[in-house]
Amino acid sequence: KIFINHPDPWPKRRHHKKRLFNAAFLDSLAYVLKKGGEVKVATDHKEYADWIIKHFKQDNRWQALHEGYSTMVPGENHIVTYFETIKRKEGFEPIFMSFRKVL
């Protein structure tokens, strides 16, 4: 499993090219994970969560473990980061996503 907690969303459109999740990064994830391996992602930025889901859906090597995303259940072995604690105090709820490598 690979856990990615709160990657920088680079919210400005002109900065989207700097986002972690893109086709090349999914290639890297697929390279290091065996078939059946999982990627667990947490973010508190809804638009970035939609971006992440879109990229995984466009790549047939990946299957979402649940439709869309969840704000309720972080999943097993979730590590609460310092950033997550601060953002929760500010009223932001994390969004959790899980994907499995199928090819």
Q: Which residues are tagged catalytic? A: 8
| Strands 62-64 and 38-43, bridge-based pairing | unpaired
At 39, the amino acid letter reads V
